[in-house]
Amino acid sequence: MPQTITTGCRALVEAAEREIETLSVEAAADLSGRDDTVFVDLRDPRELEREGRMPGAFHCPRGMLEFWIDPESPYHKPVFAEDKRFVFFCGGGWRSALAAKAAQDMGLKPVAHVAGGFSAWKKAGKPVA
């Protein structure tokens, strides 16, 4: 018997966005380049090659986020232990909403995500490397 999905991904994203900060591209751009803010690019390496990168963003594939945040994990990355604001983004804003919620649930604060993701960033004419 096939499984029944009771909650779709859109509902999960909407639930996450009720509990995290969502930044417009303009608000995110105002934080870009600041020493107290880390932009975290969750996209797949193929997306980076195809679409470009946000200058200065730290790349963390979505599948590794929780492992890289957890200081007890053998995969922990020191950037996540810094006393900074973490702004997550992906291609369209869905993965980053879920990632920001997961990071916040793990105790990483303050966190936010960029509405519309990297696609919205590029469309707004923001810097791309």
Q: Domain for residue 113, yes or no? A: yes
Q: Is residue 4 part of a domain?
A: no
Q: What is the pTM of this model?
A: 0.94
The model's confidence at residue 3, banded by pLDDT at 50, 70 and 90, is confident
**pLDDT of 15 higher than 80:** yes
Residue 15: its H or E element? helix 9-17
5 has pLDDT over 80: no
Q: The domain that contains 73 carries what CATH number? A: 3.40.250.10
Q: Is residue 5 part of a domain?
A: no
Q: How many domains does the chain have?
A: 1
Q: Helix 9-17 vs helix 94-105: angle between axes, to the nearest 10 degrees?
A: 50
Residue 45 lies inside a defined structural domain of this protein: yes
Parent domain of 112: 12-123
In DSSP terms, which residues pair with 21 in a beta bridge? 112
Q: Are 39 and 56 in contact (CB under 8 A)?
A: yes
φ/ψ of residue 26, rounded to 5: -65, -45
